[in-house]
Structure 1
């Protein structure tokens, strides 16, 4: 039996954002009391990706712990890696509440959080406090009030600040909840951004004596030509990995459900096929030039295996955790072993 099933009705009776905050607080408390040691862990299944050895290939996607306030509590759930953020250079409140909606009939979530976070300096303090020794990704975004033509400045500030604290750094150019952000996936914009990020990464590697890989997170709402162009630019700029995918703007299959037409990004089961299709095409275009981290609609072990078979080297969970709890981590790890 999955113990999470006992708690889920109480959590689902709360407003989604309140439930989210309560869950993180509970995980931190369990960790502090030593109770997290009782959680069954997946069997070791090390994979080396981006030059990093991951204890197992199932990670936590960005968005669940934006400020890195619950790193140890989340790590205790058995993840092979944790990705925190999205974090911006300056603190920002995000969009007005309500901004997070469950669609239980579709095992889906719609969010329009808008990169609500305490800013990169607060995140770094949390990372230092956690003293976490596992694989930690830090996901970077731009502030909402930074003009899109100056977006690179925000990513460079973030990269300089988090570089020494991260196992890898993820660049989020695909959230639908920051105005114009997805424009950065366009050929010219992406070419310019990747050039600046790569130059800064090389400079930081020299200064700090360690190489921290760069991954770029893309949207599921790209056509075949856009995916082809992105794959070519990622290869050309020697980016270390691509994370596919973020949430979708599509409402296929949920438009008639309660909250189905709320604005924001849709995640969970409805995005699974879209995400896997992007992974499959990316794998064909990249031909092994860089690894793919697969995320989007993983609700059971078979979904994780599908992502790996499509060409992903690692997978990440988010919405599936809300519906399935910690048992999903072990189920996915077992399915891809």
Structure 2
């Protein structure tokens, strides 16, 4: 049997162990039972981390330096986090996370789909809302057949189609791929709110919103009317992308939506013939941006032909190549994102966003 003194000492070691996802000590989230031959350890987190099981077990064995067999159970409870202003929460959704970029072409939609799938593999209930009304892409990336339509309940609510265990809603399900959405701003924002609020989301821990590029109508509507718990900025190391990413961060700061971190996409090019790494878009741009705004770099992804090809084929790399290095990076980003959001309890700056006013004078 493990004595009370031994158990207290072992628990103290575990409590001081650094959570690699938050960068902080785990603290009192452990429970332990044991006898002469084995230890059973339970870990209760505020975010999902099932894919970390093996690596965390190895860290625990090293930290405890105990000869007994060690088994680990990881449990989690995702809670709703504070949002901007006093906006009413969205039924069926605990936390909304906006995935945004200042400009197009940086891989934001690909990051969104793989991040959502990675979060689902960690054990969360996940959904994706494709908020790019003009150019929806999530339907194709998630492998839905042309002509997919959501079921309708009570002539009012959309039942979101599901792929790979993730609930998805997109304008692509309401139009054909050859139909342009030639709408002005108010129609676009109205469509976004209708899709968001009239979708029957089923008990989601996280709803990822794939934002269109820029800082326009949809972004402002999101800040005013949608309870967003946090945002993720996707950028490349290229100077022009970083310039636009700064605008995205500044926008979220102004509308009181916390930036949970930066994902640096296309960080390096890996030659498919020789394996040489080359930073063709620049080096450490995401890290510089994150340092400037005191946020974390959640992860750095390579410029990869496989990531692009598998997304275009409707089989994102997290699903199609689960053992790949890229999938491992996405899984790490998902855990870090969950841990950052779970630790983002400070609502002291949780104020209502006020639309800016423009004044004119003769000065």
TM class by shorter-chain length? 0.3 to 0.5
After TM superposition, the score normalised by the length of structure 2 is 0.38
| Rg larger in structure | 2
Which has the bigger relative contact order, CA under 8 A and spacing at least 6?
2
Q: Which has the higher strand share?
A: 2
After TM superposition, the score normalised by the length of structure 1 is 0.40
Q: Which has the higher helix share?
A: 1
